[in-house]
A = this chain, B = another copy of it.
Amino acid sequence: MMVRFVLAALVLACTPALADEGMWTLSNFPTEKIEQAYGARIDGDWLNRVQRSVTRLEGGCTGSFVSPEGLVLTNHHCAMACLSELSSQAEDLIGNGFNPRARSGERRCPGGIISVLTDVEDVTAKINSVTAGLESAKANEVRKQELSRLEAACVEATKQNRSIGPLACESVSLYQGGQYFLYKYKRYDDVRLVFAPESSIAAFGGDPDNFNFPRWSLDFSLMRAYENGKPARTPNYLGWRAEGPNENELVFVAGHPGTTSRLLTVEQLKLQRDTQFPAYLYRNSELRGRLIQWGKTGDEPNRIIQRSLQSYENSLKVYRGLQRALLSDRLMAEKAATEQGLREFVLSKPQLTSEVGSAWDDIASAQDRYRQIYDRYQYLEGSAGFTSRLFGYARQLVRGTAERNKQNELRLREYADSNLPKIEAALLAPAPIYPDYEKLTLSFSLDKMREQLGPDDPMVRQLMSEDSPDTLAARLIDQTKLADAATRKALWEGGTQAIEASTDPMIVLARQLDQEARALRKVYEDEVQAPVASGQERIARARFAAFGTETYPDATFTLRVSYGAVKGWNEKGEDIPPFTKLARLYERATGKAPFKLPQVWLDARDKLDLDTRFNFVTTNDIVGGNSGSPLIDVEGRLVGLAFDGNMHSLSGNYWYDAELNRAVAVHPAIMLTALRDVYGAKELVQEISGKR
């Protein structure tokens, strides 16, 4: 009886019940469940068209084609990297927006890449066959080699396929290693900026309003995929339903949710709670203060920090929400009960018991090991100790040239052939470098490294025996030549010989660190990653035995569709209606950032319909990476643009709370109003409306 009882509780906790839970793969889409809940049947055509219309922005967002000529709708905050890199002291595209009116004015985003998923191939059996019977560190190594091999072979094969190829191939592990796939993408590497509003209306309310609702953010932008110097032909795209969805209407969000942690073990959650999140939050709260204060020293510093500040503030709010979730007894108790239920289920089946073995305990030991190396690993191998774009270049050059010389399967995974084009694009794209900003972040991160590792850590002593973080950062940034793309290109093409001969101080630093950083990486991979991978794979088997695949895997920045309804919620006794309207935007404006409206909006006020819907909420289960995802109705029309979640949605990393969890979207009516009546972008409105 005990096992049945616990399992019943477990099923409730682990599988979507009536709630609109889940970020579903297209091959395992809950068609029946949706039909039962909403009376609407989604067919294969709908799913196919959605798959081909939705794009992945490699910077970490989603977009969708909204015209047959490669026009992509995404969030303003997803265009921040591009806006920032096209801006200069003379031209502030973040502050002033971008509206060239003519297509010839569209400007290429440095390093911008857009991908569309074309095909998915199950390679679980291939992976399992090469790792069978190996101890975890060896299995981890062999698994990575096989994944690199499969990716390379996949790319090679698509080159033969004249009709669609060449494609990019990425391996993906679903259900924590329960299944392995090759995801194949068509890539567009000529992405151009088409339209962006001013950041003051795109992020109206700024950080105070972020993750809050009611909300008035015009968080959209338009880009365009080009091929051979011309707008790409994209016959699969989403038409707009300008009036948007009704309250309680069924809507879908299609996109690339980044990561969730719903299947982690309790001990993995504790590591996040007691080690990862505190370290992140304290460090970056302080950095936030440094950036804000530096931004007050002038217009140019203020402009320079905008992009990274928005990103840090967003992450800080996310991590605080995650930390809050993990500090809740209710959540941890449920996670513990669910885990205990599965463990007891395993113990009730002798065959499964022998297969799963000590999976949970192995993962727990790996977490202890991770705690021991955590700080040094983050500071020397991760980016915590050397927060600088120029150092990033140096490390890519030192590592990349060395790794390139190795056989594909024997490289660190990120330098596998299938990844090199992305790395090269980022390394060689021209991008503005702001030395004072670089000095600030590099000095700050060196300071934190000394604080966390201690002044007597061997690497800290090596770097700062006669230097302070400030003097070291200043010398490095002043003397390196890596800000120049041609210099980077020469070193990249010159390979290890050029790198070894270089006296550029940033290259010298990256070389100096490399051995110790790689050693930490090896400890991490063999003693943390490997036992976790092995443990998770075995737990996945237990989960499949208990539940089949009627559940959805954790998010992995791969294509998923969630379903839900347009619906407000009750916040501590107060009903929050699902839609906001334009009128209140004007009432909330204070004239001071972040509640300051652009002049064009003040000027346009009288001619606008103040009843126009602005933002709205739905019950869809989404997470970071879904930014820029289209909301789609049952007929496949675009009815909104996801850009945020409410505060409760942050705990969605660990579970889905149907009562409180809400996605926040930009309404199509306000986007069309803005383009037509505020910005005079008539051609874009015509293109979107299919009238061009």
**Residues of chain A at the chain B interface (Cβ within 8 Å):** 205, 207-209, 212, 270, 273-274, 278, 281-283, 285-294, 296-297, 316, 320, 323-324, 327-329, 440, 444, 450-451, 454-455, 464-468, 470-471, 588, 590-593, 595
Contact = CB atoms under 8 A, between A and B. Distances in A.
B466 A592 contact: yes
B464 A590 contact: yes
Contact of A289 (B270, B285, B471, B590): B285
B208 A451 contact: yes
A450 B208 contact: yes
CB-based closest 5 A-B pairs: A289-B289, A468-B592, A293-B293, A285-B285, A286-B289
A591 B466 contact: yes
A590 B466 contact: yes
Contacts of A464: 590
A590 B274 contact: no
A282 B455 CA distance: 24
A208 B455 contact: yes
A292 B328 CA distance: 34
Contacts of A466: 590-592
B212 A454 contact: yes
A588 B285 contact: no
A440 B287 CA distance: 16
A282 B327 contact: no
Contacts of A592: 466-468, 470-471
B278 A588 contact: no
A199 to B, nearest CB: 16
A363 to B, nearest CB: 16
A588 to B, nearest CB: 7
Contact of A288 (B286, B593, B595): B286
Contacts of A286: 285-286, 288-289, 292
B590 A324 contact: no
Given A278-B323, A282-B320, A316-B282, A209 B273 contact: no
Q: Is the interface of A mostly helix, strand, loop or mixed?
A: helix
A663 B296 CA distance: 42
Nearest to A328: B274
A329 B270 contact: yes
A324 B328 CA distance: 16
A327 B273 contact: yes
A226 B119 CA distance: 86
Given A282-B285, A287-B289, A455-B588, 6 more contacts: A274-B327, A278-B324, A285-B285, A286-B286, A470-B592, A471-B592
A468 B281 contact: no
Contacts of A282: 281-282, 285, 316, 320
Nearest to A595: B455
A203 B36 CA distance: 69
Contacts of A440: 293
A440 to B, nearest CB: 8
A208 B296 CA distance: 28
Contacts of A450: 208
Contacts of A467: 590, 592
Contacts of A207: 451
A635 to B, nearest CB: 36
A590 B465 contact: yes
A320 to B, nearest CB: 7
9 contacts: A208-B451, A208-B454, A212-B454, A274-B328, A278-B320, A282-B320, A290-B292, A290-B293, A466-B592
A59 to B, nearest CB: 26
Contacts of A290: 289-290, 292-293
A593 B468 contact: yes
A474 to B, nearest CB: 12
Contacts of A293: 289-290, 293-294, 440
Contacts of A323: 278
Contacts of A590: 464-468
Given A293-B294, A592-B468, A209 B455 contact: yes
A297 B290 CA distance: 12
A595 B447 CA distance: 13
A296 B290 CA distance: 10
Contacts of A274: 324, 327-328
Contacts of A209: 455
Nearest to A460: B208
A208 B468 CA distance: 12
- Looking at A207, A293, A455, A590, the one whose CB has the most chain B CB atoms below 10 A away is A293
Contacts of A208: 450-451, 454-455
A283 B316 CA distance: 12
A444 B454 CA distance: 30
A466 B587 CA distance: 11
A267 B324 CA distance: 16
Nearest to A289: B289
Nearest to A587: B465
Nearest to A267: B329
A489 to B, nearest CB: 35
Contacts of A292: 286, 289-290
A41 B98 CA distance: 82
Nearest to A593: B468
A276 B631 CA distance: 39
- Looking at A270, A286, A454, the one whose CB has the most chain B CB atoms below 10 A away is A286
Contacts of A320: 278, 282
A228 to B, nearest CB: 47
Contacts of A455: 205, 208-209, 588, 595
A144 to B, nearest CB: 31
Nearest to A288: B286
Contacts of A468: 590, 592-593
A476 to B, nearest CB: 15
- Looking at A270, A327, A328, A450, the one whose CB has the most chain B CB atoms below 10 A away is A327
A465 B591 CA distance: 9
A327 B320 CA distance: 15
A290 B290 CA distance: 5
Contacts of A205: 455
A653 B453 CA distance: 24
Contacts of A289: 285-293, 444
A454 B288 CA distance: 19
Contacts of A591: 466
